[in-house]
A and B are shown apart, each in its own frame.
Chain A
């Protein structure tokens, strides 16, 4: 590497791009904007301008606009180390810019492992993983729910547990003299899912993507 480095008077390697231009490598399916030569021209609509305020209302996402793009979250993110498209800094910027569709339809928002390293390290005290959670909650309301969450929700509705405990395991408990597993109260869970609006969300996403 060092031998290839030439002492030229430097022209900046990467041009600083105007805010309107954002590369699209992370979200191929953008709806609101036009794609030209791998670049997206952002069209600022009243709706996109409002998006950040909508997001800020969600508990945990209040400090979204305080993000000044230092990139600490991405630098310290374990997922970003092993995935080229997951960049929390970028997701936050897109959210600030109102790129609602691009963010909510992006697969990468589902990659946060909620390890909270970014939350503890953010110099601006932005709860990054809570912003991600808020974005996911919104994406789900728009009809995008990864299959795994449908399975978890349906197991909770049927048993109270997020996984269906196999009979073999329950039998084994008796053999090892463990107390019986507590029962899930299904009617209560149904009522709670309904009053929180989650039942409706599950119904809308039924036909949705996996």
Chain B
């Protein structure tokens, strides 16, 4: 029955990588591709690409709109909805897509920009972050059915990150004050999720190019709260949050003068492990904080 429904819905998606993932979070892409195709989604490649626009929104809102709209047009030409792995890209493309569909004035302005490169925004596709695709398009039943090796011995915390939840006006598929979707996605793998203090607080990554001290302390506080709650790992769905929790963890340990040694996994790696994929296939070795403890817990 479920399969009949699936056939009606388009199963074809464009995977939008963004900049940070090919730059320093390769493991996220590798594991996401494995997991998505393993769940039966067809991924088509983005023929051409440019940055989603978000990084330059602070200096030119118009240039951001133009870059985002160009990406949307490329996906429209492919006739496929976008799955973005990065919440920054997902949030930006989603917000611009919604604005251009609903606000005639902005649409006219942006189409005037796009005319320069012979493109026109038509408003025929949707944009989702991978977390939303998994929860809504794939669905929890199918996800649970794909789990071959439930991660019963594992106890983790989640950090959804801001752009996957806020602003609620543009994103709005989970409650930003009490996010549950990532928790439920983790539970689907068989792992246990615990709550921790100040869960929805930002990691601070977006301003790391301006000020390093604030993000280090923000993430340091989060890591302390996670450890206190008894987490064995933190699960993220954002390349920037992941950079803070994983790549920068040793630096944060020095800044706040505490040892954490808390592995930070991309959700797609966790799901992949539960689906029976090997740690090598999921590029677990690319993590900065050693995750072998996790593997011994999974395969006692």
What residues of chain A have their CB less than 8 Å away from a CB belonging to chain B? 58-60, 78-79, 81-83, 110-117, 119-120, 127, 133-134, 136-137, 140, 145-146, 148-149, 152-153, 156, 160-163, 165-166, 169, 172-173, 176, 178-179, 181-185, 188-189, 191-198, 201
Give the residues in chain A near B116, CB-CB below 8 Å.
191-192, 194-195
A to B CB contacts below 8 Å, 19 in the list: A81-B218, A113-B162, A116-B162, A116-B163, A133-B57, A140-B60, A146-B210, A153-B56, A156-B51, A156-B67, A162-B19, A162-B20, A163-B24, A165-B22, A192-B63, A194-B116, A195-B112, A195-B116, A196-B60
Give the residues in chain A near B258, CB-CB below 8 Å.
none
A182:B58 contact, CB within 8 angstroms: no
Number of B interface residues in the complex (CB < 8 A) = 60
Give the residues in chain B near A198, CB-CB below 8 Å.
56, 59-60, 62-63
Give the residues in chain B near A116, CB-CB below 8 Å.
162-163, 166-167
What residues of chain B have their CB less than 8 Å away from a CB belonging to chain A? 17, 19-20, 22-24, 26, 29-30, 33, 45-51, 55-63, 65-67, 70, 106, 112-114, 116-117, 162-163, 166-169, 176-177, 200-202, 204-207, 209-211, 213-215, 217-218, 283
Give the number of residue pairs across the A-B interface with Cβ within 8 Å: 183
Give the residues in chain A near B19, CB-CB below 8 Å.
161-163, 165
Give the residues in chain B near A127, CB-CB below 8 Å.
167
Give the residues in chain A near B46, CB-CB below 8 Å.
182
Q: Report the minimum CB–CB distance from A113 to chain B (whole Å).
A: 4
- Known A-B contacts A161-B19, A176-B283, A178-B29; the reply to A113 vs B206 at CB < 8 A is yes
In angstroms, Cα B61 to Cα A163, docked, is: 19
Q: Report the minimum CB–CB distance from A204 to chain B (whole Å).
A: 12
A192:B66 contact, CB within 8 angstroms: yes
B117:A78 contact, CB within 8 angstroms: no
Q: Report the minimum CB–CB distance from B97 to chain A (whole Å).
A: 15
A82:B217 contact, CB within 8 angstroms: yes
Most buried by A among B49, B61, B70: B61
Q: Report the minimum CB–CB distance from A199 to chain B (whole Å).
A: 9
Q: Report the minimum CB–CB distance from B77 to chain A (whole Å).
A: 13
Give the residues in chain B near A119, CB-CB below 8 Å.
166-167, 169
In angstroms, Cα B57 to Cα A58, docked, is: 13
A82:B106 contact, CB within 8 angstroms: no
Q: Report the minimum CB–CB distance from A198 to chain B (whole Å).
A: 4
In angstroms, Cα B176 to Cα A120, docked, is: 9
Q: Report the minimum CB–CB distance from B278 to chain A (whole Å).
A: 14
Give the residues in chain B near A178, CB-CB below 8 Å.
26, 29-30, 33
- Known A-B contacts A113-B204, A162-B19; the reply to A182 vs B29 at CB < 8 A is no
- Please give 15 more A-B residue pairs, beta carbons under 8 A apart, in addition to A152-B56, A185-B48: A59-B61, A82-B217, A119-B166, A120-B167, A148-B209, A148-B210, A152-B55, A160-B50, A162-B20, A162-B55, A182-B47, A188-B70, A192-B66, A192-B113, A198-B59
